[in-house]
């Protein structure tokens, strides 16, 4: 969910190697997202430039930090400006085998967003390999097509990741942050099913079984805003999605607004224009947004070996 005014644009590059799946994302505006890992994978993420800050589970991730998310868990993430970040999906069975072989023990990844500050040289090497792979995927995807290249990149990244995560964990407050994330998850589901109600923080807190103050603290930490601001953004985005996918002949802006809980249509129109940079009627009439500038068209590398499929996808929008 975009949290600041303007037209949101994003680009994504994905590369699938033998064991690892890599991706890099660019986003033009601050946003909130909920990320969930499959039960058979862990996620390792890192910033790819020194731009805006990222927050995973309320914890700030800077340019010298890695963040991990254990298998089968979820977390709210947010950014405070345009962002460029990368991540690696690592199969949990392969993680166990490689860490046992390289360190003599299986390294455990906590089941929530955990921050690590690896040695500078190890972090720079990981950043260098990841950015080089993404650059090759855009400029020379055929260079990644050979099975030997895929295997070599896989091994380099695996060794680099394990070296980075041998560093001590930074945050030891995971149980507290997990508890607060669970509360925000419940809050999120509540407002998603009750957009029409004229709710107040006190009534939401009562349903969730917490104090008003604690709910506000958790929302500020996890979402970067107070509960009512978040609810209003949810309502505005609900209308925006309805208008983007609606038929201008049969859908009326006023109907879409009322369905998402807006009673004062003049105030709604002003708030909508402030957030999205256009009137609701323009959103309803216009064509889908253009691809983010500077991103190539979707394409797939040709495979030189059926034993090592490498998928390279690029998308924007």
* pLDDT, greater one: 291 or 275: 275
Q: What is the pLDDT of residue 94?
A: 94
User: Which range among 29-33, 194-198, 280-284, 294-298 shows the weakest confidence by mean pLDDT?
Assistant: 294-298
The predicted pLDDT at position 314 comes to: 40
pLDDT of residue 207: 87
* Number of Cβ atoms within 10 Å of the Cβ of 157: 22
Q: Which of 184-193, 202-211, 221-230, 281-290 has the lowest mean pLDDT?
A: 281-290
Same domain for 185 and 128: no
In a domain, 3, yes or no: no
| pLDDT value for 128 | 93
Give the other-Cβ count within 10 Å of 176's Cβ: 12
Is the pLDDT at 61 greater than 70? The verdict is yes
Same domain, 128 and 195: no
- Which range has the worst mean pLDDT, 33-42, 168-177, 291-300? 291-300
Residue 85 located in a structural domain: yes
Q: Is residue 166 part of a domain?
A: yes
Angle (CA) 85 165 124, round 5° = 50
Say what the pLDDT of residue 198 is. 55
Percent composition of the chain: helix, strand, coil (DSSP 3-state, to 5): 45, 20, 35
pLDDT at 75 > cutoff 80 = yes
Pairwise pLDDT comparison (298 vs 156), residue with the higher score: 156
Q: 243 and 111: one domain?
A: no
89 assigned to some structural domain: yes
CATH (domain of 101): 2.60.120.10
Binning pLDDT at 50, 70 and 90, where does residue 116 land? very high
pLDDT at 149: 76
* Model confidence at 32: pLDDT above 80: yes
Structural domain includes residue 4? no
Residue 277, pLDDT > 90, answer no
| Band of pLDDT at residue 199, cut at 50, 70 and 90 | low
Res 18: pLDDT = 87
Question: What's the pLDDT at 295?
Answer: 42
**94 and 164 fall within a common domain:** yes
Mean pLDDT of 156-164: 94
154 domain residue, yes or no: yes
Q: 158 and 304: one domain?
A: yes
- Given a cut of 60, whether residue 297 has pLDDT beyond it is no
In this structure, is residue 306 part of a structural domain? yes
Residues 153 and 302 placed together within one structural domain of the fold: yes
What is residue 98's predicted lDDT score, i.e. its pLDDT?
Answer: 94
Q: 109-113, 143-147, 203-207: which range is least confident on average?
A: 143-147
CA–CA separation, 25 and 47 (whole Å): 10
pLDDT higher than threshold 90 for residue 95: yes
Same domain, 166 and 26: yes
16 plus 132 within the same structural domain: yes
Structural domain boundaries enclosing 236? 174-285
Residues 79, 3: contact at Cβ < 8 Å?
no
Stretch 2-16: mean pLDDT, rounded? 89
Reported as a single tens digit per residue, the pLDDT across 165-187 is 998 888 778 888 889 999 999 99
Per the rule left: phi > 0, alpha: psi between -120 and 50, beta: everything else, 6 is left
In terms of Cβ atoms closer than 10 Å to its own Cβ (0-12, 13-18, 19+), residue 90 is: buried
Please check the confidence at residue 312 and state whether its pLDDT lies above 70.
no
In a domain, 25, yes or no: yes
Length of the chain: 317
Residues 234-267: tens digit of each pLDDT? 999 999 999 988 888 899 999 999 888 888 899 9
CATH number of domain containing 233: 1.10.10.60
Domain identity same for 193 and 113: no
Domain count, the chain: 2
Confidence of residue 194 (pLDDT cuts 50, 70, 90): low
Tell me 196's DSSP state.
T
- Domain check: are 110 and 130 in the same one? yes
Mean pLDDT value across the chain? 84
Same domain, 180 and 88: no
Question: Do 112 and 200 belong together in one domain?
Answer: no
Of residues 305 and 80, more confidence is placed in 80
Maximum separation of any 2 CA atoms in the chain, in Å: 66
In contact, 15 and 315? CB cutoff 8 Å: no
- Please state whether the predicted TM-score (pTM) of the whole model is above 0.85: no
């Amino acid at each position: 969910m975009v949290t600041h005014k303007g037209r949101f644009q994003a680009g994504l590059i994905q590369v699938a190697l033998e064991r690892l799946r890599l991706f890099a994302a660019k986003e033009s505006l601050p946003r909130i997202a909920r990320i969930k890992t499959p039960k058979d994978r862990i996620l390792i993420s890192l910033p790819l430039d020194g731009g805006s800050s990222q927050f995973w589970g309320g914890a700030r991730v800077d340019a010298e930090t890695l963040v991990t998310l254990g298998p089968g868990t979820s977390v709210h993430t947010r950014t405070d400006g345009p962002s460029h970040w990368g991540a690696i999906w690592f199969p949990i069975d392969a993680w166990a085998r490689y860490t046992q072989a390289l360190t003599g023990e299986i390294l455990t990844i906590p089941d929530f967003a955990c921050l690590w500050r690896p040695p500078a040289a190890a972090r720079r090497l990981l950043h260098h390999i990841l950015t080089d792979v993404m650059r090759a995927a855009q400029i020379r995807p055929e260079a990644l097509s050979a099975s030997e290249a895929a295997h070599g990149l896989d091994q380099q990244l695996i060794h680099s990741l394990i070296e980075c995560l041998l560093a001590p964990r930074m945050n030891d407050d995971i149980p507290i942050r997990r508890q607060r994330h669970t509360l925000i998850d419940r809050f999120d589901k509540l407002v998603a099913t009750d957009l029409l109600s004229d709710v107040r923080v006190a009534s939401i807190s009562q349903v969730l079984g917490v104090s008003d103050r604690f709910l506000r603290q958790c929302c500020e930490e996890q979402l970067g805003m107070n509960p009512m601001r978040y609810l209003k953004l949810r309502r505005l985005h609900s209308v925006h999605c309805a208008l983007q996918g609606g038929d201008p002949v049969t859908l009326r802006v006023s109907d879409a607004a009322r369905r998402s809980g807006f009673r004062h249509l003049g105030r709604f129109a002003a708030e909508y224009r402030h957030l999205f940079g256009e009137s609701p009627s323009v959103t309803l009439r216009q064509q889908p947004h253009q691809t983010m500038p500077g991103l190539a068209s979707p394409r797939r590398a040709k495979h030189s070996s059926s034993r090592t499929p490498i998928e390279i996808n690029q998308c924007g929008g």
